[in-house]
Structures are given as structure tokens and as C-alpha cells.
A and B are shown apart, each in its own frame.
Chain A
Amino acid sequence: AQTVTQSQPEMSVQEAETVTLSCTYDTSESDYYLFWYKQPPSRQMILVIRQEAYKQQNATENRFSVNFQKAAKSFSLKISDSQLGDAAMYFCAVIQGAQKLVFGQGTRLTINP
């Protein structure tokens, strides 16, 4: 069974600073995708960034980037120039085969003005 672990229940950062959210996972699959989702208080789950496991190059999306360490099964999210609108729950997830996303427990990110 696949598992995803987010060891930081809560994180806070000053506006305009950089923060890194941690994620480790376990899978026996050789081919998989990893995701970071954002869930603001509105509850809508929004895809932030995704990484194909077969690609060594780390994915980036504007202020968001990942550090993907396949051998260590680590997939951290870096948010640069944090903005107030980045405040939300962040979930790391891995997709298993053709079926389901497996999510971590989430990290609540607070942005301090």
C-alpha cells in the first residue's frame, strides 16, 4: 500500500519570505506521479504542482517549486515570495496506478503580514 507522510502539521512564514513544506512517500510502483494540492478555507482542492517520477528535473510553477529526491522518496514544496493568498492547507499526494490519489495528512500554512 502507498503511504504519504507530512511531518509538519503547521508552518508559518513572514510575507515575502520563503517556506518549504516536507513530504515523504512510500510506493512499490515504478511509475507514478506526485502532486501538491492547496485547500483554502473555501474547501476547493486546487492543484499547485505535479512531478512525474521518471523525470529527474524538478517541476516549477512560478513561485512554487519542488525538490524531488526519488531514492529518498522525498518530495518537498518550496514557496518563494510568500503571499497572504498562499495561506491554506497543503496536501502532498501520489497517484497509484490508474485509480486513486493517496494524500498525506496535510500542513497548515499561515502567512504573517
Chain B
Amino acid sequence: DAGVTQSPTHLIKTRGQHVTLRCSPISGHKSVSWYQQVLGQGPQFIFQYYEKEERGRGNFPDRFSARQFPNYSSELNVNALLLGDSALYLCASRLRPGLGGNEQFFGPGTRLTVL
């Protein structure tokens, strides 16, 4: 079975532009989370979606938005890009939310560089 896939692998944008990152979860997984990992730091939670509804949001500005589609894939959108948005964006999927400890499986990430 395919793992979590993300596209594109790398992306270069300029300040003020908009970007869309895509994630396909593992088959059967209905929950997708997005994390931002700035170089040299641990990942920071951005969003969680489950059954197409937002279930959690981290401390990120409204320039960040996301959605989940009926096939459970997800998009992360960032508007008005800033230099500080340069980071590795990780997508993680799991069967469902909840403290059952069901594992979050991570994708390989999208490396976004803002010039």
C-alpha cells in the first residue's frame, strides 16, 4: 500500500504569492494533519481535518487555510507569502482523531522556499 504522498516535493515562490500544497492520506485514513517545520526546529501543528471538517487549528495567521475533500485528500493554502513561511510542510494521516494512540503516518513533506 502507498504511504502518505505529498506534492510538490519542492517549491520556490516569491513574497506576496499564493501557494497550494497537496496531500493524499493512506487508504482508509480519514484524518489529515498539517505541520510546519522550520529549519532546525521541530514541527509545529497547523491544522487537523477529519471527515472534511476542521477539528483543530494551531497558532497560525489567517493567511493559512486548508480543506479536505470527499476522498480524504487535503490541500493547504498559504496566501501573501512571507520569507518566514519558508519551511518543510509535513502532512500526516491517521485512521481517526482521538487519544487511542493510533499512529500518525507522515509524508515526505514539501520544501517551500520563499524569496
| A interface residues (Cβ-Cβ under 8 A, vs B) | 4, 31-33, 37, 42-47, 50, 52, 91, 93, 95, 97-106
Q: Determine if B101 and A33 form an interchain contact, defined as CB atoms under 8 angstroms apart.
A: yes
Stretch among B11-19, B20-28, B40-48, B67-75 lining the A interface: B40-48
Kindly state the interface size class of chain B when it binds its partner: 20 to 34
Question: Which residues of chain B have C-beta atoms less than 8 A from A32's C-beta?
Answer: 99
C-alpha gap A66/B43 in the complex (Å): 22
Closest chain A residue to B48, Cβ basis: A99
C-alpha gap A104/B7 in the complex (Å): 26
Question: Which residues of chain A have C-beta atoms less than 8 A from B99's C-beta?
Answer: 31-33, 95, 97-98
Q: Determine if A99 and B42 form an interchain contact, defined as CB atoms under 8 angstroms apart.
A: no
Checking B56, B101, B106 against A100 with a beta-carbon cut-off of 8 angstroms, the contacting residue is B56
| B interface residues (Cβ-Cβ under 8 A, vs A) | 33, 35, 40-45, 48, 55-56, 58, 88, 90, 92, 97-99, 101, 103-109, 111
Most buried by B among A37, A101, A103: A101
Question: Which residues of chain B have C-beta atoms less than 8 A from A52's C-beta?
Answer: 101
Q: What is the distance, in angstroms, from B89's C-beta to the closest C-beta of chain A?
A: 11
C-alpha gap A7/B104 in the complex (Å): 25
C-alpha gap A47/B111 in the complex (Å): 21
Q: Determine if A98 and B97 form an interchain contact, defined as CB atoms under 8 angstroms apart.
A: yes
Known: A99-B55, A102-B45. A42 touches B98 (CB 8 A): no
Q: List 5 A-B contacts (CB under 8 A).
A: A32-B99, A50-B101, A95-B101, A99-B33, A105-B41
Question: Which residues of chain B have C-beta atoms less than 8 A from A46's C-beta?
Answer: 106
Knowing that A50-B101, A95-B101 are A-B contacts, what are 7 other residue pairs whose CB atoms are under 8 Å apart, sorted by A's residue number? A33-B101, A42-B108, A44-B106, A44-B108, A47-B105, A91-B43, A105-B42
Closest chain A residue to B31, Cβ basis: A98
Question: Which residues of chain A have C-beta atoms less than 8 A from B44's C-beta?
Answer: 103
Most buried by A among B42, B88, B106, B108: B42
